[in-house]
Amino acid sequence: MRPSSVSLPENFLFPEGASKPDLDALKTAKARQDESHQKLDTWIAAAIAELSDEKRFARQQQPVGRASPRKARARSQGSGVTRR
């Protein structure tokens, strides 16, 4: 039967001879990662806003009385119901 838990040696992550990570280096790397993620979040938000503006502009450019592409496609494909 297997035990429900396994105990690991105290030096499991850093076996003999391996140095522990430098705390200052880890903090610096975390700060860089946070800055990079913040820049990425800003870029994604700007891209979403730009795409939303383009979609809104395209809707405004449609002639009055013209059906949306979804409705036009539905009409051309038919409703799937056969009329007798």
Dihedral pair phi/psi, residue 61, rounded to 5°: -85, -10
CB-neighbour burial class of residue 44 (10 A; exposed 0-12, middle 13-18, buried 19+): exposed
Query: pLDDT higher for 7 or 14?
Result: 7
pTM for this model (two decimals): 0.43
| Structural domain boundaries in the chain | 22-59
Residues 41-84: tens digit of each pLDDT: 999 999 999 998 887 777 777 766 555 666 666 666 665 555 55
pLDDT of residue 58: 77
Residues 15-25: tens digit of each pLDDT: 676 667 788 88
